[in-house]
Amino acid sequence: MKPAYWIALVLVVVGAVNWGLVGLFQFDLVAALFGPASGLSRLVYSLVGVAGVALAGIAATAAGSHRYGMVTGGH
């Protein structure tokens, strides 16, 4: 797969872990590492959001391709 996909996947996992920590322990790992309102924290949050939207688009495209029989191989 393309490197951009893997980067997006890693960012989404980082975001999921961070939200899990916030929900379970009220601990924001990104804020702890880079500062609660720093530019770097905002950049990380923004990149996680963009990565999530990108992966949602990839998933929707893949689901549509499978639905209409456009994907070959594997099955």
In a domain? residue 75 = no
Residue in this structure with the two tokens 């990104």, named with its chain if needed: 30
**pLDDT at res. 18:** 96
Host domain of residue 50:
3-65
**pLDDT at res. 9:** 94
- Gyration radius (Cα) of the chain, Å: 16
Amino acid type, 1: M
Q: What is the pLDDT along the chain (75 residues), one digit of tens a residue?
A: 689 889 999 999 999 999 999 999 999 999 999 999 899 999 999 999 999 999 999 888 888 776 655 555 555
In a domain? residue 70 = no
Residue in this structure with the two tokens 């951009």, named with its chain if needed: 4
In a domain? residue 51 = yes
Q: What is the pTM (predicted TM-score) of this model?
A: 0.77
Tally of domains in the chain:
1
Cα(72)–Cα(2) distance, integer angstroms: 18
In a domain? residue 73 = no
Q: Which of 54, 51, 16, 14 minimizes the C-alpha distance to 34?
A: 14
In a domain? residue 7 = yes
